[in-house]
Structure formats: structure tokens, C-alpha cells
Amino acid sequence: MIYAPRMVRCGVLLVVLGACGFQGSGRQTAQPDDAAPAIDAPTGVMTDAATKDAAPAMFCDPNDDKLVACYEFENDTLDRSSNQLDAQMTGVSYGGGKFGQALVVDDNSAGDTTDKPVLNLIALTIEAWINPSQLPDESNKAYVLDVNNQYALYIDHNGDLFCTLIGGPSLSTMSTGIWVSTGGWTHVACTFDGITQAVIYVNGAVAKTNPGNGALGTGGTTGLSIGGNNPSSSGNGRFNGSIDQLRLMKVARTTAQICSDSGKTLRR
């Protein structure tokens, strides 16, 4: 990502914040967020590299009625929303995350929640920080989150980011050529407002939009899977690498909110 810094004066401190915009066409590799500039201590100028690892305040707020499920992966897979969609995981570990700890999964991992009506959504936001250690082979996908026959967020063998919305618009970044790469943290998100528009984001920037054209399906009966296909027994679809700060909401967060979630401020 190319940063177009914007300086905001906060008292005597100048803060330079990276810009979120639109990822244009042409083959690109999403620059890992870790590559942002560092703090310039002598001048007191702080970039978002100095603030990017400060976890968002109350990322998982159990009092937020817009939350469907929220996982911080601090050595567990407990759902911090009020819906108690705790994931039952096998073959996983925990390592250094974007914020604190992260879930580490591979081809031998699996994780599912029970099925609840709260997973039947009209509008949604799926967002997470991901750090793939490897991409899937050409015949496979690597799922970040999947609710069978309803919606999913995943990458393919090229690192293309896909958001599948069954019954509604289905979109991907393939035509815009935004690749999620290995070896660094990337913020990924998909939103659908349930009426007019679906949007997919890479590092807070709009990668693609699709017009809304139908209600989301509600045919899932096997809950939600993290880091793999749902249900876990149907094919592989395993994500290899780390996942952090995974959140599912029943509203479409705005472009400004997604940009902020990625640790930057919206370019004006």
C-alpha cells in the first residue's frame, strides 16, 4: 500500500496517519501492515507504525448488540460477544499476534461452533487480521471464516481475497488484482448492507464493490468454522498461518470504520 500521510495536530504532538483509499486495478501485492514507517522520536512525530499494535478499545464489547461473534484469541477461542459462540478447536496453537496472542492453524486444525439462529444475517461485516504462512494449493482455498451455504471469507492459491455471500452478491478481489501475501499481517474485511452494496477491503482500502442483488441465505445448519471449510468434514479448506481479532457483525461497517479498524485514517 502507498501511504499518503496526513498530519493532525493533537496538542503539541503531530500524528502522521496512513491513508485508506481505493486499491486500483492492476496486479498488486498488499503491503503487510508491519511495513509502515516507525516513530521519529527526536521530532515527536508518531506514525501509525508506533500505534498499530495498540489493540482497539473494546474490540469485543459484549454489550454491543451488533456483535454476532468476536474472537481475540488470547490463548483461547472463546466468543467475547453475548452469543457464546465459543469455537471448539483441535490441532491449534497460539503465538504472537497483531495484538497480544493469535490463533495458529494448519492443515491438521479444525474449529467449529454450534449452530444458532443469530448466524442468519441480513447485513454483515466479517473482518480479521491474517498472517498466512503459506497459500493453499491451486485446487484449494484457505478459509478465515465460513458459515456453510451462507457466507465466507477466504484466500485462494494466488492470495486473492474472496468474500462469498450466498443468495446475495458474491465478490472477490480477483479483477482488481489485490494479493494477500505471506510473511506479514494484513487486515481483511467484507461488508454487505443487505440492500444495495457489498464491499471488500484490504488493509482498510476498498478493493472492490458489488451491487446488492438478493437476501443472504439462511440454509446453514453446521454453525461457524474458523480457519477451515464448514462443515469441517467437507473437504479441506484449511488456513495455514495466524488469525487475530476476528469479528462478525450484523451490520455493514462504514468505509471510515474499516479504515480505522486497520489502524489508519480515511484519506480526505
- Over the chain (268 residues), the average pLDDT of each successive run of 10 is 31 43 62 45 32 63 96 96 95 96 94 95 97 94 95 95 92 79 96 94 94 87 94 81 98 96 82
70 vs 75: CA distance, rounded Å? 14
105 vs 31: CA distance, rounded Å? 22
Domain shared by 202 and 235, yes or no: yes
- Cell matching residue 137: 494449493
Domain shared by 100 and 37, yes or no: no
Domain shared by 36 and 130, yes or no: no
For the chain, how are helix, strand and coil distributed in percent, rounded to 5? 5, 40, 55
Q: Give the number of other CB atoms < 10 A from CB of residue 8.
A: 10
Name beta bridge partners: 127.
189, 247
The reply to whether 59 falls in a domain is no
What lies within 8 Å, CB to CB, of 100 at 6+ separation is 55, 72, 74
Identity (one letter) of the amino acid at 4? A
The reply to whether 60 falls in a domain is no
Buried b (16+ CB within 10 A) or exposed e, 10-22: eeeeebbbbbbbe
Name beta bridge partners: 22.
206
- Cell matching residue 107: 492443515
- Parallel, antiparallel, or unpaired: how do β-strands 197-202 and 205-211 relate? antiparallel
pTM of the model: 0.83
Domain shared by 46 and 75, yes or no: no
The reply to whether 267 falls in a domain is no
CA 101 to chain centre: 16
The reply to whether 261 falls in a domain is no
Residues 241, 150 contacting (CB under 8 angstroms): no
Its domain, for residue 237, covers 67-255
What's the chain's Rg over C-alpha atoms? 18
Q: Give the number of other CB atoms < 10 A from CB of residue 124.
A: 26
pLDDT for 56 equals 55
For 22-76, list the strands marked E by DSSP.
28-29, 45-47, 67-71
Domain shared by 12 and 110, yes or no: no
The reply to whether 266 falls in a domain is no
Residues 168, 15 contacting (CB under 8 angstroms): no
Domain shared by 79 and 33, yes or no: no
pLDDT for 219 equals 87
The reply to whether 75 falls in a domain is yes
215 vs 139: CA distance, rounded Å? 29
157 vs 135: CA distance, rounded Å? 5
Number of domains in the chain: 2
Domain shared by 40 and 161, yes or no: no
The reply to whether 61 falls in a domain is no
Domain shared by 37 and 77, yes or no: no
Domain shared by 124 and 223, yes or no: yes
pLDDT for 251 equals 97
